[in-house]
Amino acid sequence: MADVPDPLADFVVAEIRRARGAAGMTQEAFGRGAGFSASHVSAVEGGTRALTLDFIKGADRALSTGGLFERLVSKLGTPSWFLPWLDAERNATQLRYFEPNLIPGLLQTEAYARAVLRTVDSLTDDEVEQRVSARIDRQRILTGAHPPQLVAVLDERAVRLAGEGFGVVMGQQITQLIARAELPHVHVHVIPAVTGLHVGLSGPFALARSGGGVWVGHLENQLGGVVVDKDDELATLQARWENVRNEALPRRQSIDLLKEVGSQHGPQ
């Protein structure tokens, strides 16, 4: 089940525990209504077990909130449609990302993530900061004891993104991207602009492979996102992945291109 990222999880757990107490419900009674054992409830409230979307939905049922806690998670940090992908991402042994326009979230700097999120004018400053924090928190999987293999394919336009006041942010982003690309388990490949049209220009996508060998895909659009787990749809994404990967430069040449782009922004 999908984990809710810290520190949002701590806040939501505290609110669920407070609501349970106000309703006069024991952990056992709450668990029966939510669909979990008392020991599971105790572990979540004690911080030894991750808060998941299923637990949040169960809490809404047990407490008859009308979906309050699920909406709270969506409003404060992580959209509910994104939680299933977070689960796949955090438990993956292999990750594949293709992005034609932006740097993937797992490789973004804090300043770059903030600049991207601020383009959504419906988000308040607090909501932007909460989502930046959640995005940076996701990156811990790359520096853990057993990180996944991450292969990212980017279109050159994504690394040459420019604009007034964005030069320093982009320069810092390229510097971090190069540092990540030098890690043994991170591979960054760039599709050069001279390639022209290619199948990836229809949109970004991602693939995650679990330790059990199961692949899951993710597609994101202007209104949200969807997890892909049907065999025929996964086969289509795998084929498109092979296409964009074959269009990209080899790893070392991609890093050289990134260094060339970074030099245009001056020392960071």
Q: What angle do the packed helices 38-45 and 8-22 form, to 10 degrees? A: 130
**Distance between CA atoms of residues 248 and 191, nearest Å:** 4
Query: Which carries the bigger pLDDT value, residue 254 or residue 165?
Result: 254
Q: Which of 122-126, 145-149, 156-160 shows the lowest per-residue confidence on average (mean pLDDT)?
A: 122-126
Mean pLDDT of 4-28: 81
- What pLDDT score does 141 carry? 87
Q: Given a cut of 90, is residue 240 above it in pLDDT?
A: yes
Considering only CA atoms, which of 260, 245, 132 is closest in space to residue 188?
245
Which residue type sits at 76? L
- What pLDDT score does 223 carry? 62
Considering only CA atoms, which of 48, 66, 265 is closest in space to residue 168?
265
Query: Which carries the bigger pLDDT value, residue 190 or residue 140?
Result: 190
Tokens of 138: 């996701």
What's the Cα-to-Cα distance from 120 to each of 61, 78, 93, 138, 163, rounded to whole Å?
32, 15, 32, 20, 17
Q: Given a cut of 80, is residue 79 above it in pLDDT?
A: no
Q: Report the half-sphere exposure of 65 (CA within 13 A, side-chain side).
A: 22
* Domains of the chain, earliest start first: 8-76 (1.10.260.40), 80-263 (3.30.870)
Q: Given a cut of 60, is residue 17 above it in pLDDT?
A: yes
- What pLDDT score does 178 carry? 95
pLDDT by residue (tens digit) across 92-136? 899 999 999 899 999 999 999 999 998 888 888 888 887 888 788
pLDDT by residue (tens digit) across 34-62? 999 999 999 888 877 777 778 888 999 99
Phi, psi dihedral angles at 2 (to 5 degrees): -75, 130
Query: Which of the four pLDDT bands, split at 50, 70 and 90, describes residue 76?
Result: low
